[in-house]
Structures are given as structure tokens and as C-alpha cells.
Amino acid sequence: MKRLMIVALALACALAPAFGQSGNKVLKVALILSGPANDQGWNAVALQGLKDAEAKYGIQSAYSENVGNADSEAAFMDYASQGYDLVIGHGFQYGDPAVRVGKKFPKVKFMAIEASSSGPNVASYIIACEQAGYLMGILAASMSKTGTIGMVGGVEQPSIIKVVEAYRLGAKAYNPSIKVLDAYIGSFTDVNLGKEAALAMADKGADVLSHIANQAGTGVIKAAEERGLLSTGDSFDQNFIAPKTVMCSTVYNVPTLVTIAVDKVRSGTFGSGIFNMGMKEGVVDIASYHDFEGKIPAKAKDMIAQLKKKITAGSFVVPLITKSTSH
């Protein structure tokens, strides 16, 4: 396994009594990431959450990048054995390893984001990413001139499938005859694979390309930019990557999840279980339309705005589909 990169983010010890202590001990919080922390998407927002918690509570923190499935259990073990109070795995694949390690370290708290596993000292925080994915499907369908759009997913797992399928449903809600291409590239970090999959879709007529593939998704955006096509971003506002290409992005307020978990550990209220959070809780949103504001059909913008209100109010529920319908 790659050497775990430990990055100390602790504030001066003098501040610890005011912010970071649980009893007489400064809390130690670690974060495990599936890709690079500077991926301009999924992992970057998690690291921001760790930094926010450090600034707010004065915790001592560390993170590990590029932790693959085979190394995830060892990563949890490493931090737990070092005396970390909370270890967070940022991704569906970290749920089961967290539970296994949790049994060996009952005094340590573990949290997995987007997982569906829990134990006496393990909690999963699920983001309703499908809510924003549905709205991106509407947007993509409304801006397609060819009647074909494409969505590139990373690893084919429930946390990714649910967004791809919601995107498809949203697109068809706007245009029942829209053709939605999808592909799972089996990676969250391979930018070239993301680009190749997107270009293959473009060759089949897709003129709007979307992704939920973490760092690999930047390849999708670059493919759209090179072909003069449109795209949507994922995890946070990715318009800055290609301002003339990225119309809008899904936004996941992962920092909120991280600070919630840290606060619960500090207050002694950390509970096991599976917790769902979406637009209602302020964890899911979409970015602005930037320079595309005047180019998007009013019908689509109105539809998205109304659905966003209904989703937040709970009067419209985006279907949760965790098995691919395209096979």
C-alpha cells in the first residue's frame, strides 16, 4: 500500500481547550480518500470539510489520498491504531471495511460517506445525490440539439448508479424521446478513460456530456470542450474548468457532513446507523448557470426551479434506482 500521507492540520495547543477538546484530549480526525485531494471534485470537497472542522474545532487531523479498495481496511487500521477518535472513509466502498475495523477498535468512531453499512461505532451518511442528478438530466435534455446526451460513471456501484439513473429519468421527464447513453469506466481517477468514454459518446451523436466520476470526470469535461460540446459538472461548481462548456454542476455540501460527524463525537452524541441527507438538509444543491443563464430554455429553468422547491419540501421524491437499467 502506498505510504499514508499524514498531514497535520492542528491549531496551536493553546486553542485546544476552547475548541478541540473532548474531556482533556484534543480530538484526532482522519479522512480516507479514493483519489487525489486536489481532484477539483468529490475528494476536494471532503478535504475542505476536514479543514473546516479543524478551523471550527481545533482538531488534529490527517488524510490519506488514493486509497484503493484493497488498501482501505489497512488505512482504517492504521489510523485507529494511532489513536484517532474518528476515521472517515469518503465513498461507498469504505463502508464494509469500516465495519470490520470497527469491531477491532470499539472505542474509535468510524464514518463512511455514501455507504450503507453500520455497526455499534460505525455510521454511514448517505447523500441524496440523485436529487441533483435528476435536475442535471433535465438541463442536459433541454440543451441537446441532437436528441442524444451522455453520462459517464466511475465505478459501477449503488452510489454512482443512482445518479446515472436519476439523470436518465430527469432527461426523459423533459423530453421523452431523448436518448441517454451511459458508460461505467471502472475508475474514479483515470482522466484518460473518462475522456475516451465521453468521446465515444460524442461519436454516437451526444452533444451534452455529463459525469459522476470524480477526478476521471475532468476528462469528460475536457472531451466536451475539445469537441465544442456542452457538459455538466459534479460535486461542486466545475465551471472554472471550462467556462464555455460547463453549464451547471451538482453540488454536494460534504463539509457539512464532516463537521456534523466531528461535532457529534465532541459532544458524545455520535450514533451508529445510516443517515440520509439531501436538499432539505442543505447537503445537496446545484450551482448557478453562469454565462449560460440566457441560453437555457425558460421551460427548463422553470421546471428545475419548481422541482427543486418540491424536492426540498418533500412533495416530490426522485426515484432511487441502484441497479443499472441500461444492461
pLDDT tens digits for range 18-47:
344 445 578 999 999 999 998 888 899 999
CB distance 182 to 151 below 8 Å: yes
Residues 6 or more apart whose CB falls under 8 angstroms from that of 76 comprise 32, 87, 89, 94, 97, 98, 101, 110
CB distance 232 to 207 below 8 Å: no
pLDDT reading at 17 higher than 60: no
CATH 3.40.50.2300 residue window(s) in the chain: 13-127+254-277, 129-252+297-313
pLDDT band at 10 (very low <50, low <70, confident <90, very high): very low
pLDDT reading at 11 higher than 60: no
Q: Residue 297: what pLDDT?
A: 98
Strands (DSSP E) found in 257-314: 273-277, 284-286
Distance, CA of 108 to CA of 164 (rounded, Å): 35
Q: Residue 23: what pLDDT?
A: 53
Query: In which residue are the cell numbers 493553546 written?
Result: 14
Instruction: Kindly report the pTM of this predicted structure.
Output: 0.85
Q: Residue 8: what pLDDT?
A: 34
What fold does the segment set 13-127+254-277 form as a domain?
Answer: Rossmann fold (3.40.50)
CB distance 154 to 213 below 8 Å: yes
Q: Mean pLDDT, the chain, as a whole number?
A: 91
pLDDT in tens, 155-196: 999 999 999 999 999 999 999 999 999 999 999 999 999 999
What fold does the segment set 129-252+297-313 form as a domain?
Answer: Rossmann fold (3.40.50)
CB distance 92 to 34 below 8 Å: no
Give the count of beta carbons closer than 10 Å to the beta carbon of residue 66. Answer: 19
Q: Residue 325: what pLDDT?
A: 92
The residue ranking higher by pLDDT, 10 or 262, is: 262
* Percent of all residues in the chain with a pLDDT value above 90, rounded to a whole number: 85
Distance, CA of 226 to CA of 209 (rounded, Å): 12
pLDDT in tens, 43-80: 999 999 999 999 999 999 999 999 988 999 999 999 99
